[in-house]
């Protein structure tokens, strides 16, 4: 069984993805590709495409509800890594549920994780 996010992508096409500018500054060790971002406020950048009326992250390769992948998954902003899918770690996620419902998808349940190994789950970021 594959990770439910690989057939979703709703969060990447629903929320604005804003983060501290240093995450996209290569001189400070930032990993997010600067060219995929734009300035939001003096101390924030945003992933291109996510500050529109109908957000869709520039790094998203998806047909929402069918397949989904982040083209910069290993370099995604910390705010993306901090949002777990519902029941991924034993609890519902209000953000995941809200994005899925907005795209006409059912919210995830514990049953959606049957057969998904611990190694296949997204690790929570260190704080």
Beta bridge partners of 19: 45
Alpha helices in the chain (DSSP H): 78-81, 94-102
Cα 103 to the center of its chain, rounded Å: 15
| Model pLDDT, residue 120 | 63
Smallest CA-to-CA distance from 3 within 114, 93, 96, 126 is with 114
Residue 118 scores a pLDDT above 50:
yes
Check residue 3 and report its DSSP letter: -
- Can you say whether residue 100 is alpha, beta or left, with left for phi > 0 and alpha for psi between -120 and 50 degrees? alpha
Q: Summarize pLDDT for 100-117 with one digit per residue, the tens.
A: 999 999 999 999 988 776
């Amino acid at each position: 069984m594959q990770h439910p996010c690989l057939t979703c992508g709703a969060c990447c096409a629903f929320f604005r993805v804003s983060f501290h500018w240093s995450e996209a500054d290569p001189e400070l060790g930032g990993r997010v590709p600067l060219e995929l971002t734009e300035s939001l406020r003096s101390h924030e950048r945003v992933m291109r495409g996510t500050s529109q009326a109908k957000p869709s992250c520039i790094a998203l390769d998806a047909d929402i509800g069918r397949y989904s992948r982040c083209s910069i998954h290993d370099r995604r902003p910390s705010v993306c890594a901090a949002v777990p899918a519902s029941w991924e770690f034993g609890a519902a996620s209000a953000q995941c549920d809200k994005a899925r419902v907005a795209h006409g998808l059912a919210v995830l349940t514990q049953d959606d994780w049957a057969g998904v190994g611990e190694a296949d789950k997204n690790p929570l970021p260190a704080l």
